[in-house]
Structure 1
Amino acid sequence: MKPVSSAIEPGNERSTRARVARLILEHGPVTAAALGERLGLTPAAVRRHLDALLADGMIEPRTARPRGQRGRGRPAKLFAITDAGRSAFEHAYDDLAGSALRFLAERMGAEAVTEFARSQVEGLLRRIEPVMRTVPEDQRVNVLAQALSAEGYAASATKAKSGGDQLCQHHCPVAHAAAEFPQLCEAETEAFAQLLGAPVQRLATIAHGDGVCTTHVSPVRIRESKETGR
């Protein structure tokens, strides 16, 4: 369902507003200044779109005090996507997926759901595994993030402070179904480990109410672990 305010706006306004919302989804929480720089918008234009998104409940304001200035300085104003805003992005088939999985579980049992979840990620494995063989190991997480983004997961990869890499998925098209059927997340995690050739650990998921699906990728490769017997 489209926000009421967008129904009477010109097409270019709706398009720009959608881009603002998408950037907040993918990179938020983010400041208005950062949004303006990325989109080439004036401060007034950014404020206009942010005010409309706030009024529609698509985003929410947050504050973050600059590092190293405890108790001093003006807190930075950030904008983050809300549950309502997240649901506006490609969730059209989430309810249908949940209904189908419930039907499958009732008729054939939980194991059938697990098999279905694994079959869903097989396509991802087939598409990405050949590419993974051609890139250096230290670039595989970035390549996986790009592949996931192409499939609508708005993924990003960063180096983890504790070592290894951190893979974040800022959007999940089947978040509600995954909340009821964790097999979907489990199968995806198994696929990540296989693609990256490294141990992975899920730290947070949108399905469980977290803002982002976060996966830690260990710097220790599975092959090395097997060779050393550790």
Structure 2
Amino acid sequence: MKNVGEAPQEELATGERSTRNRVARSILQHGPSTVAELAQRLGLTQAAVRRHLDALLADDVVASREQRVYGARARGRPAKVFALTDCGRDAFDQSYDQLAADALNWIAEQHGGSEAVAAFARARIAALADAYRTAVEAAGPGERTEALAKALSADGYAATARSAPRPQQGEQLCQHHCPVAHVAERFPQLCEAETELFAELLGTHVQRLATIAHGDGVCTTFIPRIPKTSPPAKISATPATSATASTTTTHASTSTAGRNPA
């Protein structure tokens, strides 16, 4: 499990974070729980449990609600129970990467090998393209890469735009996080489709210099200086045909999309 409920540095030595994780895991294992139930299971005072729950509530790891009562209700207010939120569940180990990899393996085996995976990758990225296109089209000619970076960040890619080592040559689009990195390590078609999308949105050829999936620290894409008159193009969800293959090659250096060419 990842650490949940970030604690101040001075608390770490006292085991605050470890205890907070124990509280969250107890709720995961036993379901929605009251303060009294947690205190009994964990051997803590109720005051200590409440303190940890307050931190978990602040971090959106747990949420509170009134306990459901079946039958005659006793006098007084119903006790509160604390349950994990979706965010809290995500703090525990998941198998989404393996599930996605298994699905892509099945697509490859049943529907045409690597080309079927590439078709899926294009369809997936095409479903995301409209929001990115709107952001890029609303930006000025010299601000498209920055606009794309902001749109990618909204989807969890933590992207930034910066000048290339030689600013007169262009810019670099840097993605400091990749939500599908573990799957893309096995299926570079995901990186290739993304690279094609960047080229079509920005209206120029691009070159993928590094990828997190390949083990690099950041996904880095070189964007040459963009002509002011080039409108963002539309990406197709269908595989490129022989008639469009040369266009794809011109727009995106996909041979290096899933790995560091160096």
Q: TM-score band (shorter)? A: 0.5 to 0.7
Aligned positions of 1:211-226 closer than 5 A? 211-221=217-227
Verify: 1:134 aligned to 2:138, yes or no: yes
Give the Cα separation in 2 of the matches to 1:202 and 1:136.
Answer: 23
1:106 positional shift: 1.1
Give the Cα separation in 2 of the matches to 1:160 and 1:93.
Answer: 35
1:13 positional shift: 6.5
Instruction: Indicate which of 91, 98, 102 corresponds to 2:105.
Output: 102
What is aligned with 2:176?
A: 170
Structure 1 segments unaligned to the other structure (5+ residues): 18-87
Higher helix fraction: Structure 1 or Structure 2? 1
1:125 positional shift: 1.6
Alpha-carbon RMSD across the aligned residues, in angstroms, is 3.2
The structure with more radius of gyration: 2
TM-score normalised by the chain length of structure 1:
0.59
| Equivalent AA in structure 1 for residue 19 of structure 2 | I
| Equivalent AA in structure 2 for residue 101 of structure 1 | L
3-state secondary structure, aligned to 1:102? helix
Give the Cα separation in 1 of the matches to 2:217 and 2:92.
Answer: 14
Matched pairs, number: 157
1:131 positional shift: 3.1
Instruction: Indicate which of 173, 198, 210 corresponds to 2:216.
Output: 210
Give the Cα separation in 1 of the matches to 2:115 and 2:177.
Answer: 26
Verify: 1:2 aligned to 2:2, yes or no: yes
| Equivalent AA in structure 2 for residue 104 of structure 1 | I
8 Å CA contact retained: 1:94, 1:173: no
Q: 1:220 to 1:119 in 2, by over 3 A?
A: same
3-state secondary structure, aligned to 1:207? coil
Q: 1:130 to 1:92 in 2, by over 3 A?
A: same
What is aligned with 1:147?
A: 151
Aligned positions of 1:11-160 closer than 5 A? 93-108=96-111, 109-160=113-164
1:128 positional shift: 2.1
Higher mean Cα deviation, 214-223 or 198-207?
214-223
8 Å CA contact retained: 2:131, 2:151: no
Give the Cα separation in 1 of the matches to 2:93 and 2:154.
Answer: 13
8 Å CA contact retained: 1:178, 1:184: yes
Q: Identity of aligned pairs, percent?
A: 50
CA distances 1:114-172 after superposition (whole Å, capped 9, x unpaired): 00000111122212223322211111111111111111111111111223111111111
8 Å CA contact retained: 2:184, 2:213: yes
8 Å CA contact retained: 1:202, 1:214: yes
Give the Cα separation in 1 of the matches to 2:132 and 2:109.
Answer: 33
Give the Cα separation in 1 of the matches to 2:94 and 2:187.
Answer: 16
What is aligned with 1:182?
A: 188
